[in-house]
Amino acid sequence: MPLIAEPTAAQPSGQSGPASPVARPQSGTQSASQSVSHSVSPAPVSTVVSATARLHLGFLDPGASLGRRFGSLGLSIDGLSTTVELLPASEDRVVASNEAAQPECARVSRLLADLKRAANLRQASEIRLHTTLPAHAGFGSGTQLALAVGRAFANQYQLPWSTADIARILGRGGRSGVGIAAFDQGGLLLDGGPQGAGHVPPLLARFDFPEAWRIVLVQDVTRTGLHGEAEKTAIRALPPFPQELAAQMCHRILMQILPATAEGDFAPFAEGVNLLQKTIGDYFASAQGGDMYTSPAVGRLLHWAGQHALAATGQSSWGPTGFAILPSQSEAERLVQTARHAGLIDPALRVQIVRGRNRGAQISRPALARAA
């Protein structure tokens, strides 16, 4: 049974979007040529969208030395997801299917109000939150939730909105575009940073992540990364990022990380990611306790991993989630087992092995069960 059913409130929003005509689903009708004694209209359908997590591997130029700020390298991963279901209803409401999804109900209510305003739509909807990504943990949970709700809404009511349109309506993609591209395509992704406020960063490159490679995720369930106003304040307080470092990051990504991914050549890929992580991690360290890792327990494990295996290690976004990318399932399992035997996996840590994801969000339209 659902834990929460929260009616939505149409709150004022600073976001605007295209006002599109809505083609509403029509019930089926009986053909005059059909010789049956009664008609049965098709069962109404809902729209279900499942979006997986992404890792943010680093920025190219957080100092905007050429005018464009940020630019991001990111990776779509399996193993964790946000799944939402939208269906027509008599009144707007948001339902959490489990305790973990409960905190997101108020946020989804606001998203639904913004979407209805942008579409000039009065049709009421119920949104069911089946699963949600851990919030403020480095997985891009806010963007994936917003895009999943927006895509379910647009598909259910036949709105001609692209994912970028939905991101603009709901205020996502202000710094990084990898979450938007991950929702659409999956894979290893590179964006060029936003042109300015209200612009979604353009996708510059996308490669399939090699099937054999694995990611060891290391989550500290006792912490969250910077977010909201604290994140904005921290970014404003950072020192200028030297142009020569930005040039090095772009060089490493373009001439080492991307071609190594395309060719499945793990060693140069790991070397490039490690350098990117160290450079960007050192730059952001002053905003997260003086270290490139928000969580000391995550940092201890991944510093050890980098010394004991050929691995690409680092922190996703503001953390606290860290990662170790390895060239195979067996090497990922060996690393986790060895770390566990060495007593390096703190009780606060949740460790799992996942794959890269080379496709976008899953969208389906199951028929709803009829009332008896």
State whether 183 and 246 are in the same domain. Answer: no
Banded model confidence at residue 28, pLDDT cuts 50, 70, 90: very low
State whether 156 and 281 are in the same domain. Answer: no
The yes-or-no verdict on residue 182 having pLDDT over 80 is yes
How do 312-315 and 322-326 pair as beta strands?
antiparallel
pLDDT average, residue stretch 233-256? 93
| Cα gap 98→29, rounded to integer Å | 38
Q: What are the DSSP calls for 85-127, one per residue?
A: EEEE-SS-EEEESSGGGGGGHHHHHHHHHHHHHHHT----EEE
How do 4-7 and 93-96 pair as beta strands?
antiparallel
The yes-or-no verdict on residue 34 having pLDDT over 60 is no
pTM score, whole prediction: 0.86
Higher pLDDT, residue 48 or 14: 48
Q: What are the DSSP calls for 267-309, one per residue?
A: HHHHHHHHHHHHHHHHHHGGGTTTSS-SSHHHHHHHHHHHHHS
Banded model confidence at residue 137, pLDDT cuts 50, 70, 90: very high
State whether 326 and 230 are in the same domain. Answer: yes
| Cα gap 360→354, rounded to integer Å | 16
The yes-or-no verdict on residue 270 having pLDDT over 50 is yes
pLDDT of residue 216: 98
| Cα gap 304→301, rounded to integer Å | 5
Domain membership of residue 192 (yes or no) is: yes
CATH number of the domain encompassing residue 86: 3.30.230.10
Residue 202: burial class (beta carbons within 10 Å; 0-12, 13-18, 19+)? middle
The yes-or-no verdict on residue 336 having pLDDT over 70 is yes
Q: How many other C-beta atoms are found inside a 10 Å radius of the C-beta of residue 308? A: 14
| Residue with the two structure tokens 């979450």 | 179
Could you tell me what percent of the chain has a pLDDT over 70?
87
pLDDT of residue 19: 36
Which of 74-88, 161-175, 224-238, 350-364 shows the lowest per-residue confidence on average (mean pLDDT)?
A: 224-238
Q: Which domain holds residue 100?
A: 4-8+44-208+358-364
State whether 254 and 340 are in the same domain. Answer: yes
Q: What are the DSSP calls for 127-154, one per residue?
A: EEEEE-PPTTSSS-HHHHHHHHHHHHHH
Domain membership of residue 22 (yes or no) is: no
Number of folded domains that form the chain: 2
Strand partners, 81: 52
- Contact (CB, 8 A) for 93 and 7: yes
pLDDT of residue 150: 98
Residue 231 identity: E
Strand partners, 288: none
Banded model confidence at residue 184, pLDDT cuts 50, 70, 90: very high
State whether 79 and 204 are in the same domain. Answer: yes
Strand partners, 47: 86
Domain membership of residue 183 (yes or no) is: yes
- Contact (CB, 8 A) for 288 and 294: yes
pLDDT of residue 368: 72
| Cα gap 210→217, rounded to integer Å | 17
pLDDT of residue 369: 59
Residue by residue, what is the 3-state secondary structure of 16-80?
Answer: CCCCCCCCCCCCCCCCCCCCCCCCCCCCCECEEEEEEEEEEEEEEECCCCCCCCEEEEEEEEEEE
State whether 254 and 342 are in the same domain. Answer: yes
C-alpha angle 67/68/70, rounded to 5°? 135
Provide the CA 249 distance to its chain's centre, in angstroms: 23
pLDDT of residue 196: 81
State whether 153 and 234 are in the same domain. Answer: no
State whether 279 and 307 are in the same domain. Answer: yes
Domain membership of residue 169 (yes or no) is: yes
Banded model confidence at residue 370, pLDDT cuts 50, 70, 90: low
Q: Closest Cα partner for 121 from 44, 188, 21?
A: 21
| Cα gap 268→281, rounded to integer Å | 19
pLDDT of residue 352: 98
State whether 71 and 171 are in the same domain. Answer: yes
Domain membership of residue 370 (yes or no) is: no
The yes-or-no verdict on residue 118 having pLDDT over 80 is yes
| Cα gap 203→59, rounded to integer Å | 14
Domain membership of residue 185 (yes or no) is: yes
State whether 130 and 270 are in the same domain. Answer: no
State whether 168 and 224 are in the same domain. Answer: no
CATH number of the domain encompassing residue 280: 3.30.70.890
Q: How many other C-beta atoms are found inside a 10 Å radius of the C-beta of residue 143? A: 26
| Cα gap 27→12, rounded to integer Å | 33
State whether 96 and 171 are in the same domain. Answer: yes
As a whole number, the mean pLDDT across the chain is 88
The yes-or-no verdict on residue 183 having pLDDT over 90 is yes
Q: 369 φ, ψ to 5°?
A: -70, 140
